[in-house]
Chain A
Amino acid sequence: MSGNLEHLTEKQYQVMASSKEQKSKLWKDCMMAFLFGGLICIIAQTIKDFLLSSYFAENVYGFDEEGAAAITTMIMVFLGAFLTAINVYDNLGRIAGAGSAVPITGFANSIVSPAMEFRSEGHILGVGAQMFIVAGPVLVYGTSSAVLVGLLYFLLK
């Protein structure tokens, strides 16, 4: 092999480098992801149950199951977007890891954060074009696989 380091082979170095790698604190990270992820779900459940409660039905509006779920999604997306806009969600992400990335609030964060970042490149090619740099893959593969199972369902029905 070329290079100045005759006593160091590629394989040897790969082993050396990975042995030095400091590992993530798996237990702590998982605990945080569990706690924050669970908490976000609890918040959503509380909102949904409140929307379905008899108090809400009598005083405001009587939602059915589907309507309540849609409004809950809207509120959760708003919360994620709001916490992103006030520069808080990334701090949450640093602590909670997957616990804040996997819930729908994280989906909102992944759309709102590039929108804010790329404003400096204009509203058309910056905000408009870059909004889905993170969430795009989720939509592409989510909708495509839904079409695939839909096709199978249609054929097998």
Chain B
Amino acid sequence: MAQKTGKQTYLITRPVYVKNAASVVGPREKAGPLGKYFEAWEDEDFGEDTWEKGESRFVGAALTSLLTKEKVSSDEIDCVLSGDLENQCTASSCGLKDSNIPYFGVFGACSTMGESLALGTLLVDGGGFHNVICMTSSNFCAAEKQFRFPMELGGQRPPTAQCTVTGAGAILLTDTPCKTRITHVTPGIIENYQIKDANNMGAAMAPACASTVKMHLMDLGRTAADYDLIVSGDLGILGGGLFKEIMELHGYPVSNHKDCGELIFDPKTQDTFSGGSGCGCSAVVLASYILREMNAGRWNRVLFVATGALMSPVSVKQGDPILGIAHGVVFENL
């Protein structure tokens, strides 16, 4: 059973391993700098007549790809934890409706991958669950329609804006030994710095990311240098800079930091402003690039911190601040 260490961090005592991971992305992600790490890609609508149905297909495709790779049947999976940005998480539920796997829908905005991984790890650590799939998805077009404007409306977005990633990433956690295991999880608290600009999510999330990373390091008596890599979810170029500045301010300088939102697109050629965002952003980057490079031995201890901006179109219109949250998970090679 997980052991509480310090204020927010839990040591995983019954080993939880990463068995395998799968991702399916959209065309823009495939064309980006990490393109070669993504094994499959599809158009945003996945051949369906609505963006929402398309996103569900991404969820289903990521799950199928993971099960096929591992040659396991859905009966062997104890549960799947999945979330997305659509109203009431329908992309996940519709995408998994034919899977016959017990399903928990989770929501933590763009931090959902961290949330589902942390919860999945604790389930396996608890002893009752043996194989758990953690996954999330997002879709550029569905998110634009829900949170911003119709696709065909002509207009510009400010340079602080981020671009929702299209794709779904899935990770299979198990209790049978594999190369990479999860050693700690640090669930985050909500940080509110009164950021109200819905076009500047990076700034809303950076304090939450710093809050979780700082508590994690404090709880374990570690410094950032104890990790080969600290990877944040979707702070983007702007938020990533703010995160490092806040860490510096609190006496925890971070030099080995990468951000999934910054990695996935090339802002010079792809017109993606401050970088990628969305539930799918950290999920597909972790499930492909990060875990594959870990498997190849490039990094041996990685702190993954998925970051989320908790808001809805209604809360933004009503003038509420955009709240930040971040959940940390430590991956370590044996």
Contact = CB atoms under 8 A, between A and B. Distances in A.
Interface of A: 3-8, 10, 13-14, 16-17, 20-24, 29, 84, 87, 89-94, 96-97, 100-101, 106, 109-110, 112-114, 116-118, 120, 134
B72 interface: no
A94 to B, nearest CB: 6
A32 to B, nearest CB: 9
Contact of A117 (B145, B193, B211): B145
Question: Could you tell me the dominant secondary structure of chain A's interface residues?
Answer: helix
B104 interface: no
Nearest to B245: A16
A114 B153 contact: yes
A91 to B, nearest CB: 8
Contacts of B75: none
B194 A89 contact: no
Contacts of B101: none
B109 to A, nearest CB: 18
9 contacts: A3-B191, A4-B215, A14-B194, A17-B195, A22-B159, A90-B155, A93-B156, A109-B153, A117-B150
Interface stretch (B22-30, B44-52, B130-138, B286-294): B44-52
A134 B274 CA distance: 25
Given A20-B238, A20-B242, A117-B150, A94 B49 contact: no
A5 B52 CA distance: 38
B151 interface: yes
Interface of B: 49-52, 145, 149-156, 158-160, 189, 191-195, 200, 203, 206-207, 210-212, 214-215, 238, 241-242, 245-246, 249-250, 271, 274
Contacts of B195: 14, 17
A10 B194 contact: yes
A148 to B, nearest CB: 26
A90 B159 contact: no
B152 A90 contact: yes
A7 B150 contact: no
B211 A5 contact: yes
10 closest A-B pairs by beta carbon, nearest first, are: A93-B154, A117-B150, A113-B152, A120-B50, A4-B211, A17-B203, A22-B159, A113-B150, A113-B153, A97-B156
Given A21-B200, A90-B155, A93-B155, 15 more contacts: A4-B212, A5-B211, A5-B250, A16-B242, A17-B206, A20-B241, A29-B156, A91-B154, A93-B156, A96-B154, A97-B156, A100-B154, A101-B154, A101-B155, A112-B152
Given A14-B194, A29-B156, A113 B151 contact: yes
Given A14-B193, A20-B242, A116 B154 contact: no
Nearest to A33: B156
A4 to B, nearest CB: 4
A93 B156 CA distance: 7
A106 B249 CA distance: 47
Contacts of B154: 84, 89-94, 96, 100-101, 106, 109, 113
Contacts of B249: 7-8
A30 B159 CA distance: 15
Contact of A21 (B160, B206, B215, B250): B160
B191 A87 contact: no
B323 to A, nearest CB: 11
Contacts of B193: 8, 10, 13-14, 17
Given A117-B151, A120-B50, A5 B145 contact: no
Contacts of B191: 3-5
Contacts of A92: 154
Contacts of A110: 153
Contacts of B50: 120
B49 A5 contact: no
Nearest to A12: B249
A120 B242 contact: no
B198 to A, nearest CB: 14
Contacts of B145: 117
Given A21-B160, A109-B152, A113-B152, A8 B207 contact: yes
A134 B238 contact: no
A118 B146 CA distance: 11
Given A21-B160, A22-B238, A5 B150 contact: no
Given A90-B151, A90-B154, A109-B152, A120 B52 contact: yes
B143 to A, nearest CB: 13
B192 A3 contact: yes
